[in-house]
Structure 1
Amino acid sequence: MPLSRRCRCATRGPLAPSPERGPLREQELRRRMERHIGPLSDWWSRDVVLVSLGHRTVTQALDAGIPAQQVWRAVVDFLELPASER
């Protein structure tokens, strides 16, 4: 089997991480926030306090070790985004 075929199978096989199954990374969280909040997303992350994150901002929550997926769910709820964005 050619090497390119083996590599492709290894990265796309059933055990490969997928955005639907794998943990959300902070970089992806930032991209999603940029998509929904726009150019003020960095400011929003630093200054908007979310009760559901223990009265923390997004930045403080991430620094405190709260998983990015949990932070994203709090953002989705706060912004009242559709459930499909979870």
Structure 2
Amino acid sequence: MRRSEFLRAVADEFGAQASSLVSDLVLPSFGRTAAEALDAGVPPREIWLALCDETDVPADRRYGAGRLEPRR
């Protein structure tokens, strides 16, 4: 997962709350916010899964999130 895919997945899942969650919610597994973890070089996929765990996102909406539909 790339950073852009992470940000798209967060926006798709959380809508208007996305930026607040990324910048304000401290993820216990990292001891920092998602934004801080990204800046520290933590892989976006790990941050996405930690954010999903913390906010109870169902498993069927976690994998493949953030990817664009393939071009036809």
Candidates 11, 36, 39, aligned match of 1:34 = 11
In structure 2, runs of 5+ residues without a counterpart are: 64-72
Q: Using structure 2 for the length normalisation, give the TM-score.
A: 0.78
Match of residue 52, structure 1, among 19, 23, 29: 29
TM-score by length of 1: 0.66
CA RMSD in angstroms comes to 1.0
C-alpha distance after superposition, 1:28-80 (max 9, x if no partner): 11111111111221122111101012x10000000111000100110111111
Identity of aligned residues (%): 34
Greater Rg by CA? 1
Whose strand proportion is higher, 1 or 2?
2
* Structure 2: distance between partners of 1:80 and 1:48: 14
**Runs of 4+, deviation exceeding 3 Å:** none
- Kindly indicate whether structure 1 or structure 2 has the higher relative contact order, using CA contacts under 8 Å at least 6 residues apart: 2
The count of residues paired between Structure 1 and Structure 2 equals: 62
Say which SS state the counterpart of residue 32 (structure 2) adopts: coil
